[in-house]
Amino acid sequence: MRDAIFAYEPYIRLGAFGGVFAVMAIWELLVPRRKQVLGRGRRWPNNLGVVVVDTLLVRLVFPTTAVGLALVAEAHGWGLFNTITVPIWIAVVSSVVVLDLAIYLQHVLFHAVPALWRLHRMHHADLEFDVTTGLRFHPIEILLSMVIKLTVVAALGVPVLAVLIFEVLLNATSMFNHSNVRIPLGLDNVLRWLVVTPDMHRVHHSILARETNSNFGFNLPWWDRLFGTYRAQPEAGHDAMTIGIEQFRDPRELGLDRMLLQPFRGDVGRYPLGRRQREQ
Ligand SMILES: [Zn+2]
């Protein structure tokens, strides 16, 4: 089965990406949460363009995928789960949970360290919040995130199946929790105990620093509640809240070339976590 996962990984991931993207895009058209001011034609080609840049760069820079590294780690007996004997389902479930915690902590780190915030703020500079926002990450952030992911996979000896599940899940939930879909409030209240919902994550894309620095979770909503970074709703309400950050609000900033240069332009702003505390 390991070899099958390795051989079919690109197709499984591309298929899941295409399927979830199509479902969320249609759902947004049929039942939108917020009225969008900027049309899709202005943002989508650029947000999807950055996905192409990110994917090509990861392929060029890294000699292996995370699934490939999991196979190597298993062959050499690297990492916790390749040295102890536990039922496979325990290894898979706990690996997915630990990887999700690592992504949560990485996200907090990108909000805390000013130089890392410069990279991550490109994701936050989107002026609307929809399925393509969930794919819009600066290539250097993607490369750093890959280093962290590969480290966790090797150190923990994550089973190949768990790596594949996590990669597909992270991509799918990122598109889901950034989407502009309306979910009935009662259902959202139940759902957000199990998974990060769009209403929960939209708070994180508010222009207000205290709201931006909350709800860091991507898959599991528990980390925010556990570490005290949970914020239920935006103060201004979902319809009236302003999406984005204070910098880069000119719609020309939505172009791919400007997006790629944003980390190197302007000052760091007042969003990094340490700066926020000094000002309060
Ligand atoms: Zn963020």
- Residue 97 belongs to what H/E stretch? helix 88-112
Question: 15-29, 151-165, 190-204, 263-277: which has the minimum mean pLDDT?
Answer: 263-277
Measured in Å, residue 276 CA sits from the centre of ligand 1 at 15
Task: Give the whole-angstrom CA distance, residue 99 versus residue 236.
Answer: 33
- Supply the mean pLDDT for the chain: 94
Measured in Å, residue 109 CA sits from the centre of ligand 1 at 10
Task: Give the whole-angstrom CA distance, residue 36 versus residue 20.
Answer: 21
Measured in Å, residue 53 CA sits from the centre of ligand 1 at 20
pLDDT in tens, 187-200: 999 999 999 999 99
Question: 44-48, 177-181, 201-205, 272-276: which has the minimum mean pLDDT?
Answer: 272-276
Measured in Å, residue 188 CA sits from the centre of ligand 1 at 21
CA distances to 154, 194, 224 from 173, in Å: 24, 12, 16
User: Rounded to the nearest 10 degrees, what angle do helices 88-112 and 160-177 cross at?
Assistant: 50
Measured in Å, residue 74 CA sits from the centre of ligand 1 at 33
Measured in Å, residue 108 CA sits from the centre of ligand 1 at 8
Bridge-partner residues for 206, per DSSP?
A: 243
pLDDT in tens, 64-111: 889 999 999 999 999 999 999 999 999 999 999 999 999 999 999 999
Rounded average pLDDT over 211-235: 96
Residue of 220 and 3 predicted with greater confidence: 220
